[in-house]
Amino acid sequence: IEQHKPDIVLLSETKLTNKHYIFSQTHKIIRSDRPNSKQGGGTAIMVKNNISHQIIRYPASSKNELLEYTIIQLFPETQSNYKIFIISVYATNSNKKVFINELNDLLQRLKLDNPEHFFVLGGDLNARRTEWGDYHDNQRGKYLRKWEAETLLGYNAKIYSKSIKLLHAAQNSDIPNKKETITRLKSTINLVKTELRKEFNKSSERYWTGQLKQINHRDPTAFFPKINRLLRKKRLIAIEDQLIKAADLASLSGAIDVNKAIRIDEEYLINDPIDKLNVIGEFYQTINAPRYLNTNTRLKEIVDEKAEKAKETLTSRRTESSTFVAFSDSPVGLEIKRASSFKLKYLGNYAKVVETCCV
């Protein structure tokens, strides 16, 4: 765009959603994103800011199965009775004939058979035709050839295919000696499967061998319980329905879906399997969390009380400029006493303090 400075740009398969924001200082961008907001499809038109135009909202392609489009109408400086439509299109790759029906519906709704209505329609229709440089026609290309011969003349229009310089050279992905390679790959896959089965069998055998070695056949009191535990079919664990208060933490925290529960007065009857597990989990959390967090425990109260007193003492001494230790002219280590054993003294002669500290 910076190099060629086009007046109008038609974009197809933009793959934009409502989370994408695009801005241009030179062009206005008109978008038609896919209505389901999936990253795919979509069309857009970029038109220079100085070109008079209006956005055509009807018809719209939001309910189409294959054909997506964005439409604007240009206003010519002369011949004001003329209407010029610019249409950017994209059609998903499908062989359904509904594509032609949706294309005809678009042209009819814009009344493009009117001699005073003109249009340019361009984009990616996923059509392949030999006259456009393709190696062969696909089904969409065949539909368009027939449609061009039977219908397009009624709109006084013609299909043009602009030759575009390829951005890359075609690559041949054929593997030489494919048959031999495929045979070798199949043999390798079968070998891997065989080795995996052996390893799974060995692992299973080692497990059951270890379990059987733990059985003491000389102890009848332990022999049969062990055999029953290994061989008897396990019963599924059934969790009874849970009845909780409406003000219970499980219902207030969103751990359960109250819409699935049965309301009985001021209680909920929980019968959903996942919600029953969540109720039990919330209960154990309430009884175990205090033990690890010391919430509402006597130990936490004592620690908080002592910490608050220490904080108050530090604040008070900082305000009064007092210390925990009294200083004197005596040798260090003889007269230093604990702060609790005598009345605190304020710092005296600064020189004395420094001298005492440096002995």
Strand locations in 129-258 (E): 242-245
Segments of the chain scoring below 50 in pLDDT: 168, 335-336, 339-359
pLDDT at 55: 92
Residue-wise pLDDT for 220-244, tens only, equals 788 888 888 877 777 777 888 888 8
How far does Cα 123 stand from its chain's mean position? 30
Q: Using CA atoms, how far apart are residues 328 and 307, in angstroms rounded to an integer?
A: 31
Instruction: Give Rg (Cα) of the chain.
Output: 42
- Are 270 and 244 a contacting pair, CB within 8 Å? yes
What pTM value is reported for the model? 0.46
